[in-house]
Structure 1
Amino acid sequence: MRDLMKYDGYFFDLDGTVFLGQRLLPGAAEALESLRAQGKRLLFLSNTTTRTREECYLRLTGLGIQAHRQEMVTAGWMSALYLREQAGEVRVYVIGEPALVLELVEQGVPITLYVEEATHVLVGMDMHFNYDKLHAAAKAVRRGAALIAANPDTCCPVEGDLLPDTWAIVQAIVTASGVRTHAVMGKPSSYFAQKTLEWSGLEASRCLMIGDRLDTDIAFGLKHGLGTALVLTGVSGGSELAASPIRPDYVWASLHELASVFTV
């Protein structure tokens, strides 16, 4: 695995890759420290909509990881950027947790509580999703609002469990409204890749995407020309890998295997 050193940029997923709940995963601290010592470019790419970029930064530093705010890229923040770039008047009806709303507010994206005014419905993970929210979102979409999924994640890994995530809610709205999703942010979308590579200043072939999910992290890398490494510490396990047509370049039990390359 000495060829791992050829990359200039290393992009890490967070949940299930670097940490799980309040626990650092094996090898994470050592791998990140070793990469920084080698002068490598690091970015943390998370499909989260329940934590802001600032909260991701504080969580990493609180776990003892050296990080910088500008290294954080979240699906919530990327969704706000996308909506800010849309032509014409934008008014967003939000299904999601407070972090998603805050990302919109910080980028100056107008929010509405009235479905009649909504030009877009933005959906993230919402742990208080209910029938009234489903009805409101479906009504807004039927009236012409563009349905935007902040990420395509079906579930979110936590200690000992998997929580329903954004895509489960999006599909409920699609079913209730009869209208397809207009755009999907987060990994593995082209918009997410374009912006991330632009900020990194690197060619895709010089970057390695490291994550725990075949359908988002590894698909993101393969779709956009990055190297890919799957860690078996989160959602996608060995049995899923064996049955999947998605083939990462590397498969590691944990980030210990990456750390060992740079510490020998």
Structure 2
Amino acid sequence: MLTQDFETAWDTYLRAGPWFPAPPPPVTPRRVAGLAEVLETEDIAAVVLDAYGVLHTGSEALPGAREAIADVRRRGLRLCVLTNDVTHEPAGVAAGLHRRGLDIRPDEVVSGRDLLPEALAAVGDGAGWGVIAIHPRDIAARFPALRIVEDLTAHPPSAWDDLQGFVLVDCFHWTPDDLDVFRAILRRCPRPLIIPNPDVACPYDGEITLEPGALGLAAVRDHGVDVHFLGKPFPALYGRLKDRFPDVAAERLLMVGDSPHTDILGARGGGLRCLFVESGLLAGQDSLARFAESDLWPDYLAAGV
């Protein structure tokens, strides 16, 4: 697992403006006790939950997460998990949440991985492309034109010269040596990337991980490559979310998230309302100061869900 300190991750996000969607107009956040208070006082038809930082930060469910899901169901509201966790298909994400005691169905999960078929169709179904993932064979079985790229440190960077581009699904399994080799591959021959997970960082069991979004932004800055981001905060995924609720106006959808540059930016940019929880990426930070630095402001602010 590759990790980084908060300030490094935050600086990467702050410098991502030219490649991320434009920020929505600022609002003044209302401090609330949690999700239930918003649902009691506002006209919300469906609740959209982030996973990491909202429901859990790795091994265990966060306090109140199980109860919040049960409360949404008790109120008869619709529910969706919108996540940049793309290691597994939505059914696998739901299974992981169930292992943590969280009642989420596979059909309630939407992720950047859902957009991969369209992205690959635009590049000849991935012919001549390589896929980098913890579980690459799952993806190669669905997209057989892709070539599996693994054991990076066992090969020289030239071993991948024939590939036209890379689908970078995740890098959680990498060591620092793997990262060095990947950077050497792009230095040697810059090529486009498809990245289903645009996260720069993720809170995980007390650490902050280095995520594919950080590598994609570095590739754009350092090598000028074309990077196609699929997940939050980019509009296509929020469009897919809205397709799940065609009868619900965007302002009646409430996104609950923990990252300004994915959850606030993507949700409010798409017309949704946003409840920001301080249990994830900004845990221990001055949230209002970070909102001011990023010029990204949620509608509501709470310590946790």
Scaled by the length of structure 2, what TM-score is found? 0.72
- Residue matched to 1:43: 80
Pair 1:103–1:82, CA change in 2 (3 A): farther
Alpha-carbon RMSD across the aligned residues, in angstroms, is: 2.5
Q: What is the distance in 2 between the residues matched to 1:31 and 1:106?
A: 37
Q: 1:136 aligns with which of 165, 173, 185?
A: 185
Pair 1:192-2:228 in alignment: no
Q: What is the distance in 2 between the residues matched to 1:194 and 1:111?
A: 26
What is the CA distance between 1:139 and its match in structure 2? Answer: 4.9
- Residue matched to 2:213: 167
Amino acid at match of 2:183: L
Pair 1:164–1:15, CA change in 2 (3 A): same
Q: 1:149 aligns with which of 170, 195, 219?
A: 195
Unaligned runs of 5+ in 1: 256-264
SS in 2 for 1:121: strand
Pair 1:219-2:255 in alignment: no
Pair 1:183-2:235 in alignment: no
- Residue matched to 1:83: 119
Deviation per residue, 1:109-144 (Å, 9 max, x gap)? 52125745544322233132333333334555x4xx
Unaligned runs of 5+ in 2: 1-37, 150-158
Amino acid at match of 2:243: E
Scaled by the length of structure 1, what TM-score is found? 0.82
Q: What is the distance in 2 between the residues matched to 1:52 and 1:220?
A: 21
Q: What is the distance in 2 between the residues matched to 1:78 and 1:117?
A: 27
Q: What is the distance in 1 between the residues matched to 2:161 and 2:236?
A: 28
Please say which of residues 103-112 and 45-54 is displaced more in the overlay. Answer: 103-112
Pair 1:89–1:63, CA change in 2 (3 A): closer
Deviation per residue, 1:62-91 (Å, 9 max, x gap)? 22222211111222x234233344264522
SS in 2 for 1:152: coil
| Overall identity of the aligned pairs, in % | 23
Pair 1:249-2:294 in alignment: no
What is the CA distance between 1:6 and its match in structure 2? Answer: 1.4
- Residue matched to 1:259: none
How many residues align? The count is: 248
Contact preservation (8 Å) 1:80, 1:107:
no
Q: What is the distance in 1 between the residues matched to 2:89 and 2:124?
A: 26
What is the CA distance between 1:220 and its match in structure 2? Answer: 0.9
- Residue matched to 1:260: none
Amino acid at match of 1:251: L
Contact preservation (8 Å) 1:211, 1:231:
yes
Q: What is the distance in 2 between the residues matched to 1:247 and 1:122?
A: 32
Pair 1:252–1:25, CA change in 2 (3 A): same
What is the CA distance between 1:235 and its match in structure 2? Answer: 0.4
